[in-house]
Amino acid sequence: NADINKRKNDILASMCDERARMLQDQFAVSMKHVHAFAILISTFHHRKQPSAMNQKTFAEYAARTSFEKPLVSGVSYAQRVLHAEREQFERQQGWSIKNMETNKTSSEQDEYAPVIFTQETVSYIASLDMMSGKEDGENILRARASGRAVLTSPFRLLNSTHLGVVLTFAVYKTDLPPDSSPEERIQATAGYLGGAFDVESLVKNLLRQLAGNQAITVNVYDMTNSSVPLRMYGPEVIDDEIPHVSTLDFGDPVRKHEMRCRYNQRK
C-alpha cells in the first residue's frame, strides 16, 4: 500500500512539474516577444523623426505576431505625458486622456500614461491613463525605475471577468547603461509597453492539451507575500489533501509564484 501511494505521489509530482515547466516556458517566450515590442516602439516611434509607427501598423504587426505570445491576450503602448505637455498632446491626438476608473476625462495629474497604440483585442484601453489604475500604475513606476520586466499581482483585467497579470517594460528616450540609477531611468522614460496575460483562459487552454488533464486539479498562486497566497489560476480549494508544489519563475524577482497540483476525488 505504501508502494502504491509512493507511486501515485511520484506520478502527481511529475505531472505537476511538467505543467509548471510548460507554463514557465510559454511565459518566458511571451515575455521575450513583449520585450521585442518595446524595442519596436523605441526604433520606429521614438528614434524616427517623424515617427514611423501608428495605430494601424501597430495593430497589424501585433495581430500577425500573436502566435509568438501564446499567453498574451493583447499588447499596448502608453506614452509618458507630463502635465505641461498635456494640452498639446490631446490636441495632436484629437482626444482627451481618460481616467481608468471613471472612463471620463482625467483630472489634473503631474503626469499621465495614456495608451496610444493597442492590439485590436484590447482596443478598449486606448486613451486611458494607465497610471490611474492601482496595479497598472504600480507596474509603470516599478518598470521605469528598474529597467526590468515587471509583473502585477493577479487582478481582474478590464473588460474581462478573468484573472490575469500585466507585464510592463519601460521604453527609454536614450540608451541607458545597465548601472543607471532609478532617477536617471525615470528622467529618460518615454513610455510603457505592456502585455495583458489572461491567465485564467490561456492557462486553461494550455493544460487542456496535456494527457492526464482530467485526473488532477492545478492551481497557480502569487506567493509574493507567503502568508497571503493570491490565487491566479484554478478553482477555489476546499479539499485539504496535501498538494504537490512545483516552483514557477515568471522572471520578475519581486514576485514569487508556485503551482499546486492535487488528484481529483478518487475512489
DSSP state letters, 140-187: HHHHHHH-S-EEPPPEEPTT-SSEEEEEEEEEESS---TT--HHHHHH
| Three-class secondary structure of residue 213 per DSSP | coil
Q: What does the alpha-carbon distance between residue 33 and residue 36 come to, in Å, rounded to a whole number?
A: 5
Q: Residue 56: which region, alpha, beta or left (left: phi > 0; alpha: psi -120 to 50)?
A: alpha
- CA distances to 36, 181, 237, 259 from 32, in Å: 6, 24, 33, 22
Q: Nearer Cβ to ligand WA2, position 78 or 232?
A: 78
CB 202 within 8 A of CB 170: no
Which residues, numbered 138-167, are part of the site for ligand WA2 (CB under 6 A)? 139-140, 157-158, 166
21 to 60: interface string for ligand WA2, x by CB under 6 A? ----------------------------------------
Q: Which of 27, 192, 221, 233 binds ligand WA2 (CB under 6 A)?
A: 192
Which residues, numbered 107-126, are part of the site for ligand WA2 (CB under 6 A)? 115, 122, 125
CB atoms within 10 A of CB 238: 5
Q: How far is the CB of 4 from ligand WA2 (least distance, A)?
A: 46
Residue of minimal Cβ distance to ligand WA2: 194
Is residue 74 close enough to count as binding ligand WA2 by CB under 6 A?
yes
Q: Nearer Cβ to ligand WA2, position 53 or 140?
A: 140
Is residue 127 close enough to count as binding ligand WA2 by CB under 6 A?
no
Q: Name the strand (E) or helix (H) holding 58.
A: helix 55-64
CA pseudo-torsion sign 229, 235, 237, 238: positive
Stretch that binds ligand WA2, among 4-12, 25-33, 86-94, 136-144 (CB under 6 A): 136-144
Cell numbers given for 195:
502585455
Q: How far is the CB of 37 from ligand WA2 (least distance, A)?
A: 10
Q: Nearer Cβ to ligand WA2, position 9 or 103?
A: 103
209 to 238: interface string for ligand WA2, x by CB under 6 A? ------------------------------
Q: Which residues bind ligand WA2 (CB under 6 A)?
A: 74, 76, 78, 115, 122, 125, 130, 136, 139-140, 157-158, 166, 168, 192, 194, 196
